[in-house]
Structure 1
Amino acid sequence: MIFFKKYFEVRHISLLVLLFFCGQINRAQDLSGLYEKVNPSVVILLTQEKSLQQVGGFSQMISSEGLGSGFLISETQILTAAHVVDVAERVLVQFNDGKLIEATVTSSFDEPDIALITLTEPQKNARFLTLGDSDKTKVGERVFVVGAPFGLAHSLSSGYISGRIKNDEAQNPFTNSEYLQTDAAINTGNSGGPMFNLKGEVIGIVSHIKTRTGGFQGIGFAATSNIAKELLLNRNIPWSGAEFFPLSKEASKLLNIPQENGLLVQRVVSSSPYGKLGLRGGTVKATINNTELLLGGDVILSINGIRFEMTDETLKKLGDYAATVKPNEPIVLEVLREGKIIALKK
């Protein structure tokens, strides 16, 4: 009897082990099938932007190339990360078949690091991705990412949801953010690419990593699909085409700003709405409180009469205004330039 009991115990354990490995194989097969289904909707973004560099002892604005990822949500619309396209002078979208189509930035938010870009012509026979409900995603769920790490187009990496970071206390769209933390490998070129659940739904837009070496060390972050829906698809705040640094009360005093807060302009895309207004970016590199900045550019004091203050009330007011402004509606920026207050008008 003891012999038979041990025999059946061994068979039971063997059966469990076999079922476990069969489950692992089936999950791997499912991931392969999902990849084939979603991959045609993933795109590579090739960007050109201008940055201040030292050349022969002088500071000059030099054109540089950038790389990122994105994904189609319609025939003309693509979601990506804000830092990939926010100050890009030119954006080219490369599809799975090698075709290139130019795109323009429609909307962008720095804090949650999300952006919406629009193709100048529709992609024929395009396959779109579905935005899932990121609120239903739980720590421990398996996910996978598709993008172009180090230029290796349409590469897949997989892992698990490790955590969730949410800042929804602010009532304005500029500081609200929500990220899913993951151990799926993320590297340069993955930014803006989709993070999928095992249903093939997009639950995140790849943003950044925490690292001490510059490479992936097991901690990556993706802005949630729900924050992207709320800010990019529902609020529809237009892209300004400029990079700003909000000045605190102390920094404003240091730079002799005539009010407690202001927006120090860093870079401006020449063809953007703010670029066409004549807004100027910085020309001198400096470090203030361990933050690298460009000085010498305009400081925005008010936008259409709304005085800039670093409060939720003011930021919400600016967000509400931006969400309702019409394309041909006049815009007036009050800026401090070389010690004088001037108005830039559209």
Structure 2
Amino acid sequence: MNTINKITLISLLFLSISIKAQSLSELYEKVNPAVVVILTEQKELVSSGKMTKTVTAGGLGSGFMISDSQIVTAAHVVQVAEKVNVQFVDGEIIPAKVISAYATADVALLELIWPRKNAVILNLADSDHVKIGERVFVVGAPYGLGHSLSSGYVSGIIKDTKDQNPFTNSEYIQTDAAINTGNSGGPMMNMEGEVIGVVSNILTKSGGFQGIGFASSSNITKDLLFEKKVIWNGTDVIPLTGKMAQIFNLPQESGLLVQRVVKVSPFGILGVEDGDIEMTINGEKFIVGGDIILSINGVKFEASDESLLEISKVMERKTENDPLEIVVFRAGKKVTLGRK
């Protein structure tokens, strides 16, 4: 290869790199106004010696607009938030309420108290078309550094969608794009600027990003938030089955131990109570002293897909004023909570 051809080849290579960099920069400018920072307040237990007290702690996450009043984020960012504020790139802050949330798939839908003027929105792509090796980028607020961009590639796709139960279905896209605390709920996008996933969590031993991050797929997000529409209940629960159910002396084989509950949530308004004592059983931490949910609208909780599917049907969002009855195990007795 002569010198002129070598120079031409090198020039074309640098031109290609420049075009790709410019393309990503342009995409960022286009989608960035649709990305938001989620600011939350929630209750947490703090232990000091033998004393345990409840304090209000601040939380941080990311999200993105899909309309002038609706925002998608990660469920773990808002599931037990007593207060949710959404901050936009221009500094405007609008309060929001949680409409729907799924812990297993880690997706949630927020509704702004008033619409955002001149809203920029993002489209949810068909994640079935996502391929391993495809280039992606993430925009969010890692460690509170709002509207930061990272890029990488799709490393894998993990699916657990074998049945119709929305409480156990999940589908995650694995990536090496940097994800850290505060990124959760932000969009993972393809090079067309479409959302293919909702940033969820990382696999780490150090606590920081180590090259393995996950985002809930856009298709599972669409299915759960816009097709199934199970109402947000405002609780954080742990299933009690087998030996654990026996330890808590449940009057049935299984139950849901309430860890935390939002007072202004559907379950909180009914009077469901959360715990106030931390315990460690078999190396796992629990918050005890609160209610254990036995049934919802007559459907007994059991450790089976059939039971969870029936409960999901009960909780499908029709109207906020639909009858809701919950039977809990409280201080060794069954207590019925409900509204007609």
Q: TM-score range by the shorter chain?
A: over 0.9
Tell me the equivalent position of 1:164: 157
Q: 1:116 aligns with which of 106, 109, 122?
A: 109
Preserved contact between residue 261 and residue 268 of structure 2 (Cα < 8 Å): yes
1:260 Cα deviation (Å)?
A: 1.0
Give the deviation of 1:12 after TM superposition: 4.8
Distance 2:313 2:108 in 1: 18
Q: 1:213 to 1:235 in 2, by over 3 A?
A: same
Alignment of 1:290-305 (within 5 A): 290-305=283-298
Q: Which residue is equivalent to 2:270?
A: 277
Q: Out of 33, 42, 62, which is 2:55 matched to?
A: 62
> Is it true that 1:84 corresponds to 2:77 in the alignment?
yes
| Residue 171 (structure 1) shift | 2.6
Give, in whole Å, the separation in 2 of the partners of 1:30 and 1:326: 44
| SS in structure 1 at match of 2:82 | strand
- The answer to whether the 8 A contact 2:164-2:309 is kept is yes
Ranges of 4+ aligned residues in structure 1 off by more than 6 Å? none
Structure 1 position 254 matched with structure 2 position 252: no
Match of 1:3 in 2: none
Q: Select 2:327's aligned residue among 316, 326, 334.
A: 334
* Whole-angstrom CA distance in 2 between matches of 1:54 and 1:302: 32
One-letter code aligned to 1:140: G
Q: Any gaps of 5 or more consecutive residues in structure 2?
A: none
- The aligned counterpart of 1:48 is 41
Picking from 167, 177, 184, the partner of 1:191 is 184
1:215 equivalenced with 2:208 (yes/no) = yes
What is the identity, as a one-letter code, of the residue corresponding to 1:47? T
Alpha-carbon distance in 1 for matches of 2:17, 2:224: 38
User: How far 1:248 sits from its partner (Å)?
Assistant: 1.6
| 1:335 alignment partner, SS class | strand
Q: CA deviation at 1:264?
A: 0.5
Between 65-74 and 49-58, the greater mean CA deviation after superposition: 49-58
Residues 1:233 and 2:200 aligned together: no
Q: Distance in 2 between matches of 1:254 and 1:14?
A: 75
Are 2:297 and 2:314, in contact at CA under 8 Å, matched by a contact in 1?
no
What number of residue pairs does the alignment pair up? 339
Mean CA deviation greater in 274-283 or 49-58: 49-58
Cα distance, 1:198 vs structure 2? 0.1
> In the alignment, does 2:129 pair up with 1:145?
no
1:345 counterpart = 2:338 = yes
In the superposition, the TM-score normalised over structure 2's length comes to 0.97
What amino acid maps onto 1:72 in structure 2? M
The change in CA–CA distance for 1:186 and 1:106 in structure 2 (over 3 A counts) is same
The one-letter code matched in structure 2 to 1:270 is: K
| Alignment-derived partner of residue 322 in structure 1 | 315
Give % identity: 54
2:96 aligned with 1:103: yes
Alignment partners' CA distance in 1, 2:289 and 2:84: 27
Alpha carbons of 1:324 and 1:121: their partners in 2 closer, same or farther (altered >3 Å)? closer
After TM superposition, give the deviation of residue 89 of structure 1 in Å: 0.3
**AA paired with 1:279?**
V
3-state SS of the aligned residue for 1:212? coil
After superposition, the Cα gap between the structure-2 partners of 1:299 and 1:268, relative to the gap in structure 1 and judged at 3 Å, is same
Instruction: Work out whether 1:21 is the aligned partner of 2:14.
Output: yes
Give the deviation of 1:289 after TM superposition: 2.8
The unaligned stretches of length 5 or more in structure 1 are 1-5
Of stretches 268-277 and 320-329 in structure 1, the one that deviates more from structure 2 is 320-329
d(CA) in 2 for partners of 1:332, 1:195: 39
SS of structure 1 residue aligned to 2:83: strand
Matches of 1:325 and 1:97, distance apart in 2: 35
- For the aligned residues, what is the CA RMSD? 1.3
Distance 1:219 1:118 in 2: 31
* SS class of match (1:88): coil
Q: Secondary structure at 2:336's aligned position in 1?
A: strand
1:200 maps to what in 2? 193
**Cα deviation 1:41-79 (Å, max 9, x = unaligned):** 000011000011124632111100011000000011000
- Between 247-256 and 92-101, the greater mean CA deviation after superposition: 247-256
Measure, in 2, the Cα distance between the counterparts of 1:320 and 1:257. 25
User: In the aligned structure 2, how far is the partner of 1:188 from the partner of 1:170?
Assistant: 31
Whole-Å Cα distance in 2 between the matches of residues 259 and 56 of structure 1? 35
CA distance in 1, matches of 2:282, 2:222: 35
Match among 261, 264, 288 for residue 257 of structure 2: 264
